[in-house]
Amino acid sequence: MDHTSQLIQERSAPPATLVIFGASGDLTRRKLLPAIESLARHERLPDQFALVGVARTSMTDEQFAESALGERTLASKRQLQGGVRYVAGGYDDPETYKRLVETLDELDAQRGTSGNRLFYLSTPAGAFEPVIHGLAGVGLNQPREGSFSRLVIEKPYGRDLVTARELDGVVHSAFDEHQVFRIDHYLGKDTVQNVLALRFANSIFQPIWDRSWVDHVQITVAETLGVGSRGGFYEDAGAMRDIVQNHVLQVLALALMEPPASFEAEGLRNEKVKLLQAIRLPTDRDIAEAAVRGQYTRGGTREELMAGYRDEAGVDPLSRTETYAAMRLNVDNWRWAGVPFYVRTGKRLPARLTEVALQFQRPPHLPIPTDQLTGLDADALILRIQPNEGISLRFGAKVPGHSFRVRTATMEFSYDQTFVEESPEAYERLLLDALIGDASLFIRSDEVQQCWRIVDPIIDNWEKDNSPIPTYEAASWGPTDADRLIGRHGRKWRNSA
């Protein structure tokens, strides 16, 4: 067996049936079915694999198979042909689960799926509880000997700490924690995982990855789009719940956590939880200085005028929901004490951008005259998660010429230019991990609760605040309050269009 074949075998799914609840929904169509097709095309799924869709929409096996395989490649069609089923029914109807049991038993016999089941909840959050109770009611939560039964849950996992704990109670009444895979698709991105590679596969960065060298850290998740057709959902979520509580804090935990004892799932997740536990919560009095919100208004150009948030479909004309959130966080541990961490996210910003930027301390003494320093910025290491995925190292360099002048230069690493390998989509990687049983990139129960612990006081404070919500024009970098947040100590945001 050659090396490539061995790698494929090591990262291939075992015989199993993937059951998608919410099979007629948007997430299934846009993300899950293409991910399954790609896994099949790359020979990551065995012949003993089956797909079952469950939803309220009336559909036959053939119709669901056509939606799942209609535009797929010949190779994936051939592999999945005959292994696609559909169960129509309400999520709170016991008959739905009885038909599901019959279907799964039939697939075990026909496809050799060995009683292994992965249940994916691609439904609105309100359906999580009836689906979990329905699975438990027919014993599908308990695997047969030598088999597995696992549950994948999409966000939002609760809407605050109280409801997250309530959902945990429902989940754990039927499934043990090791059976539960809470998904955040950001963690499936190669560039997010590259944060771990950069930190722990390179000895040159480890000595400077602390308070002695780092002045501050910025984490930005910027979107150019508005809420589009998700206005109704966004009204109940807002930027803090939709992005900060999960994506932003997950990236922050990976960037700041201590080196794990091993790259096993529990080793990684233990260190992430420890980091989140060390984040200091602002008091009510401090929140005004430590957290900023905003809502986009009409903006852009005459040629491309963008609607304000309150003009979007499904949005309250008097809405106070934030489409922008920024925070200054402090981590009370040995490595990071005294280093401020600035995080921000927003819709209708000038650029689509996700990055982590570590700005280093300036030299304690510069023997070079100031008139010879032309545009010299502080050294920085920028991890670009999307787009233009890669890493930039910013430093000072001599300008060619007869005089001694210094200005900022950069060294660039680009994923596209360095690697020829195809980067899998986030859902493709995470689906394969869940089928294999690797929980490294999934979120543990105590991790979810720590994230809610951090954002809940700020959300509560904003909901009690009756003052007008700050606004910013669409296609600008957010409210002026955000500039004041970071500017209090002479710093500024990394804004680029």
What are the residues whose beta carbons fall under 8 Å from the beta carbon of 267, sequence distance 6 or more?
Answer: 260, 261
From the annotation, which residues make up the binding site? 22-29, 56, 155, 185, 189, 223, 242, 347
Strands, E assignment, 40-185: 49-55, 84-88, 117-121, 149-153, 180-182
Amino acid making up residue 276: L
Angle between helices 249-256 and 190-200 (to 10 degrees): 20
Q: In what order do the strands lie in the sheet with 340-346?
A: 406-414, 390-398, 380-386, 353-360, 214-222, 340-346, 324-330, 291-297, 471-473
Contact 412, 418 (CB under 8 A): no
Active site residue 247: yes
Q: Give the position of tokens 């129509």.
A: 88
d(CA 143, CA 121) in angstroms, rounded, equals 18
Active-site residue identified among 133, 247, 365, 402: 247
Burial class of residue 446, CB neighbours in 10 A (0-12, 13-18, 19+): middle
Contact 438, 187 (CB under 8 A): no
What are the residues whose beta carbons fall under 8 Å from the beta carbon of 4, sequence distance 6 or more?
Answer: none
d(CA 162, CA 111) in angstroms, rounded, equals 42
d(CA 454, CA 252) in angstroms, rounded, equals 13
Contact 67, 33 (CB under 8 A): yes
Give the CA count within 13 Å in the CB-facing half-sphere of 250.
Answer: 24
From the annotation, which residues make up the binding site for NADP(+)? 22-29, 56, 155
Tokens read off for 485: 């947040």
From the annotation, which residues make up the binding site for substrate? 185, 189, 223, 242, 347
State whether the Cα torsion 120-122-123-124 is positive or negative: positive
Q: Give the position of tokens 């060390």.
A: 278
Q: Give the position of tokens 């075998």.
A: 9
Query: 155: closest CA among 471, 448, 495?
Result: 448
What are the residues whose beta carbons fall under 8 Å from the beta carbon of 45, sequence distance 6 or more?
Answer: 12, 13, 36, 39, 79, 80
The residues that are catalytic are 247
